[in-house]
């Protein structure tokens, strides 16, 4: 049975600390083309000075993305690793009111005007 996810996302989902993945597209005016960015949300802090940082997971994410790119025809122009917020014990200056407009109160990313709640 074939998965609905790209091979690179399947490979990354097996890396410890990866919460979820998705693709974003960005138009480049200079190249007049769309660039694909793979977003990897992680359950640890990406600040290397944080006690919740996991450099071995970052290396595993990088390796998995490189291996999947080499073995498939899929071209990922950019890889962005983002922390799932907030962290307990974090001294981050971000507060719920300071979260970006695309995040709900729990910190889950939301598209403006859209909800992830199930419709019954």
Q: Does 103 map to a domain? A: no
Q: Does 107 map to a domain? A: no
pLDDT recorded at residue 46: 92
Q: Does 72 map to a domain? A: yes
Specify whether the CB–CB gap between 19 and 43 falls below 8 A: yes
pLDDT recorded at residue 114: 40
Residue 115 has pLDDT above 60, yes or no: no
Backbone angles phi, psi at 101, to 5 degrees: -60, -20
Q: Which CATH number characterizes residue 24's domain? A: 3.30.300
Range of the domain at 62: 7-98
Q: Which helix (H) or strand (E) holds 65?
A: helix 55-71
Count structural domains, the chain.
1
Q: How does pLDDT run across 46-104, given as a tens digit for each residue?
A: 999 999 999 999 999 999 888 877 877 777 778 999 998 766 555 544 433 333 444 44
Residue 3 has pLDDT above 80, yes or no: no
**pTM, entire model:** 0.65
């Amino acid at each position: 049975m074939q998965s609905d996810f790209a091979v690179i996302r399947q490979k990354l989902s097996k890396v410890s600390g990866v919460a979820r993945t998705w693709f974003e597209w960005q138009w480049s005016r200079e190249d007049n083309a769309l660039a694909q960015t793979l977003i990897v949300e992680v359950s640890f802090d990406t600040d290397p000075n944080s006690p919740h940082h996991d450099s071995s997971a970052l290396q595993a994410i990088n390796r998995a993305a490189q291996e999947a790119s080499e073995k498939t025809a899929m071209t990922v122009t950019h890889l962005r690793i983002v922390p799932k917020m907030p962290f307990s014990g974090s001294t981050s200056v971000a507060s719920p009111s300071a979260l970006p407009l695309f995040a709900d109160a729990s910190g889950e990313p939301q598209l403006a005007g859209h909800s992830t709640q199930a419709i019954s």
